[in-house]
Structure 1
Amino acid sequence: MEHKSMSLLFTADENWAIGVDGHMLVRIKDDLKRFKEMTYGNIIVMGRRTLEALPNGEPLEGRINIVFTRGEREIKEGNYIVRSVEELDLLLDKINGDNKKTIFVIGGGQLVKLLYDRCDKAYITKIFKSFERSDTSMINLDEDSDWEVVQESEVKVENGLKFQYVDYKRKN
């Protein structure tokens, strides 16, 4: 079975921190709008804690939600549940056999580490700030020689917070 190509989609601070206590470091309206536009009609893969951080812990409308979990906790209806990479591969083959939908890995940190080698694109919202409190981070793509920047937006500001959209692709 061929591995499906995946994309990372995150907001990260200057230290590549992506979360604290199961939540995003900060909510930026423009970034949330971009997230919705990119993921709508596509597939999002997340860990259980990321699901719980979504509004009411509900699956996001208009997307195929896949939750990767090792536990037996009850997950709300409307999500596909997988417990292994093999299960994920089987499910993706079934629901996206034609590869028409983009698969976004949206969190958390453990899932990024698990699926990192399968990701060939990354869409990162870089925040020009270092948050004092964080407990989840991802690999610094700027320091990984396997990745290169393919596009950068202009620097934006929202509520005094500077950020920029940076798109990466894995070199092959």
Structure 2
Amino acid sequence: MNLIVAVDKNWAIGYKNDLLVSIPDDMKFFRETTTGKVVIMGKNTLESFPNSKPLKNRVNIVIALEKDYKVDGATVVYSIEEALEEAKKYNTEDVFVIGGGSIYKQMLPYCDTAYVTYVNYEYAADTFIPNLDEMPDEWEMVEESEENTYFDLEYYFRTYKRK
């Protein structure tokens, strides 16, 4: 299973249920990497999308706490365990955890690869994920792109693998 996320210098991912920054090349990378694949997300992440609609051209698995929560075009499950069971129906290389913070933290132990867009900037944020650079016994960065820029922002595409 994979994780895909954009983080700032403090491994922050969001503020008030929104992304910290929208970088076109990062959005393109996300789209190209996850299209035709399975995405697992929490209900708040789904509701942050335009019109709270599932992502097109993907199998959407949404984890919700409310047992009566339903979404057209998505499979709704009610626990991490149910999400893992649902994901077993697919090749693990084709499954991507896409947020939010709580879902990333709970699903991290089940992920083998993390695709991280690292933005070299510190944002005001209220949602964070574990810093993989501070987990050298578990994770190692195996690839990092050249420096990219979007206006004055520097960012890197990084790939981490579980040891």
TM bucket, shorter chain: over 0.9
User: CA separation in 1, counterparts of 2:87 and 2:121?
Assistant: 36
For the pair 1:134 / 2:125, whether they are aligned, the reply is yes
User: CA separation in 1, counterparts of 2:41 and 2:156?
Assistant: 23
CA contact (8 A) 1:43 1:101 kept: no
Distance verdict in 2 for CA 1:22–1:105, change over 3 Å: same
Give the letter aligned to residue 132 of structure 2: L
User: CA separation in 1, counterparts of 2:29 and 2:115?
Assistant: 10
Alpha-carbon RMSD: 1.4
User: CA separation in 2, counterparts of 1:26 and 1:72?
Assistant: 32
Q: Post-superposition, which runs of at least 4 consecutive aligned residues in structure 1 deviate over 4 A?
A: none
For the pair 1:50 / 2:42, whether they are aligned, the reply is no
User: CA separation in 2, counterparts of 1:72 and 1:85?
Assistant: 14
**Consecutive unaligned residues in structure 1, runs of 5 or more:** 1-5
TM-score (norm 2): 0.94
CA contact (8 A) 1:152 1:164 kept: yes
CA contact (8 A) 2:2 2:93 kept: no
TM-score (norm 1): 0.89
**Per-residue deviation, 1:92:** 2.1
User: CA separation in 1, counterparts of 2:68 and 2:46?
Assistant: 12
Is the partner of 2:112 in helix, strand or coil?
A: strand
**Consecutive unaligned residues in structure 2, runs of 5 or more:** none
Partner of residue 108, structure 1: 100
2:145 to 123, 128, 153: 153
**Per-residue deviation, 1:100:** 6.7
CA contact (8 A) 2:69 2:76 kept: no
**Per-residue deviation, 1:88:** 1.7
**Per-residue deviation, 1:72:** 4.4
2:11 to 6, 12, 16: 16
TM-superposition CA deviations, 1:68-111 (whole Å, max 9, x none): 111246443001101123322332233x1xx1751111101111
